[in-house]
């Protein structure tokens, strides 16, 4: 499969890993949009973006958010961070493998 995140999970593309378990992989973004910018992804390519989440497959999303909570506390950014997930090209999605951006540091500004 020609997916950059699947290649990162497989170790075919190197990444700066923050956390890994059987279902989830977390790593720093290669082009940070904030002083702290990492991504949390399911290892499985099953879901393309948040539009694919439903009652049957949403357990992984709860797990991802528990990993985010753990990581922001470990990094000391638990009092100021933003979670973003892009869906589709108009939203700027470039990698079609579900992922959650975690951004922190400096002034993130108002959004939405």
Q: Which entry of 37, 45, 97, 99 is annotated as an active-site residue?
A: 99
**DSSP 8-class letter at 24:** E
> What's the angle, vertex CA 79, arms to CA 76 and CA 36, rounded to 5?
55
Number of residues near ligand 5GP (by CB under 6 A) = 13
Catalytic residue check, 99? yes
Phi, psi of 87 (to 5 degrees): -130, 115
- Distance between CA 78 and CA 68 in Å, rounded? 9
**Minimum gap (Å) between residue 36 Cβ and ligand 5GP:** 13
Q: Among ligand 5GP, Zn ion, none, what does residue 6 contact (CB within 5–8 Å per kind)?
A: Zn ion
- Distance between CA 94 and CA 86 in Å, rounded? 9
Q: Terminus-to-terminus CA distance in the chain, angstroms? A: 34
- Residue with nearest beta carbon to ligand 5GP: 30
CB nearer to Zn ion: give 98 or 104.
98
When asked if residue 1 is in the footprint of ligand 5GP (CB under 6 A), the reply is: no
Q: Among ligand 5GP, Zn ion, none, what does residue 97 contact (CB within 5–8 Å per kind)?
A: Zn ion
Report the site for ligand 5GP in 14-43 (rule: CB under 6 A).
15, 27-31
- Distance between CA 76 and CA 62 in Å, rounded? 21
Residues noted as catalytic: 99
């Amino acid at each position: 499969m020609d997916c950059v995140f699947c290649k990162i999970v497989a170790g075919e593309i190197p990444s700066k890993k923050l956390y890994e378990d059987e279902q989830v992989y977390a790593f720093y973004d290669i082009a940070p949009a904030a002083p702290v910018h990492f991504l949390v992804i399911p290892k499985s390519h099953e879901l393309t973006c948040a539009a694919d989440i439903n009652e049957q497959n949403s357990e992984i999303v709860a797990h991802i958010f528990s990993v985010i909570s753990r990581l922001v506390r470990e990094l000391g950014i638990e009092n100021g961070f933003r979670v973003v997930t892009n869906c589709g090209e108009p939203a700027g999605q470039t990698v079609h493998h579900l992922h959650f951006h975690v951004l922190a540091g400096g002034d993130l500004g108002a959004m939405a």
